[in-house]
């Protein structure tokens, strides 16, 4: 029996950060962010 490569296709939605700036720190230690992002057309299905 020949080895057959296993193929897995998984939908993995993503976002693209067009800008990302750290503008401060919160009292709990997390950072404050200023960002501008977009979803790629292949995620949204928009054309």
Q: What is the pLDDT of residue 42?
A: 60
| 25 belongs to a structural domain | yes
pLDDT at 16 over 80: yes
Q: How far apart (Å, rounded) are the C-alpha atoms in residues 47 and 45?
A: 6
Burial label for 36, CB within 10 Å (0-12, 13-18, 19+), is exposed
pLDDT in tens, 19-29: 999 999 999 99
pTM, two decimal places: 0.47
pLDDT in tens, 33-47: 999 988 776 655 555
Closest CA to 15 of 33, 37, 42: 37
Give me the count of residues in the chain. 47
| 6 belongs to a structural domain | no
| 8 belongs to a structural domain | no
| Domain enclosing residue 22, as ranges | 14-47
The total domain count for the chain is: 1
């Amino acid at each position: 029996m020949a080895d057959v490569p296993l193929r897995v296709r998984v939908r993995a939605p993503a976002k693209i950060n067009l800008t990302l700036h750290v503008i401060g720190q919160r009292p709990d230690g997390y950072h404050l962010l200023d960002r501008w992002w977009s979803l790629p057309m292949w995620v949204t299905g928009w054309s």
